[in-house]
Amino acid sequence: MAGTDRRPLEPGRAPAPLRLLSVVVPARDEAGGIAATLAALHAELSRAGVPHEIVAVDDGSTDRTWEVLEGLRRSGLPVAPVRSAGPHGFGRAVVRGFDAARGDAVAVVMADGSDDPRDLVAYWRVLQAGFDCAFGSRFIKGGRTVDYPRLKLALNRLANWFIMLLFGIGLNDTTNAFKAYRSTVIAGCRPFLAPHFNLTIEIPLKAIVRGFSYAVVPITWRNRGSGLSKFRIKEMGSRYLFICLYVWLERHFSRGDYRSGPPPAGA
């Protein structure tokens, strides 16, 4: 497993085998591409022999997203549609997916097809090896991005540099939503505060601060081929900063009250 940063397994720890991967896919107005995204996920996971369910959360769509999800379920695809009545928000949709998931491992995958299903198989193998978390990076050897908007890329690298400096970690792609966890991590990081895209940093930072093991693998990201991105840069700066500072304060002032494993190196 490649990576610039990892927290190793505890010596002598016997990893519990996993039975089912729940793939949580939040979706808002994704009728144009979500069927292809979910079909590709199912095909790749089935090819690799990964037992799975797909928990697709319709987060207040105004298009035919819900009808598409219901049609996929009726067709026999292992899709469990969840309809959020509100309040809405990316983070809230992901948490509703966690609540509905039956698996002992969960992954968050974007509905727009930007995440490579083969990388999800790599995540499953990381978790099966006994790690609590599987993190990906598009910015290490073997990782890549395709058609990444220049402004968004510059802001991404700046935000991740800030997180690396603040927490003293080598993980250089914390802001990417595409990650996987044993369900014990999700339980150990509740309650979640972030209702929007800032949940993408709340979960991994809490997991790191609370001592869960993790490994980093290279992943590929492709810009969406249809629909519009729901991420709004100007709305997210203060929200990301709030979550960063909240978890940083926990790390330094909670006296280990929430820690679920060995203290981070240098803590």
Beta strand pairing call for 133-137 and 179-182: antiparallel
- The reported pLDDT for the residue numbered 234 is 58
112-157: pLDDT as tens digits: 999 999 999 999 999 999 999 999 999 999 999 999 999 989 999 9
* CB count in 10 Å sphere of residue 41: 24
53-71: pLDDT as tens digits: 999 999 999 999 999 999 9
The predicted model gives 207-226 an average pLDDT of 92
3-state secondary structure of 235: helix
| Run of H or E including 157 | helix 150-167
Could you say which DSSP state residue 18 is in? Answer: P
User: Where are the domains positioned within the chain?
Assistant: 21-253
Q: Which CATH superfamily is domain 21-253 in?
A: Spore Coat Polysaccharide Biosynthesis Protein SpsA; Chain A (3.90.550.10)
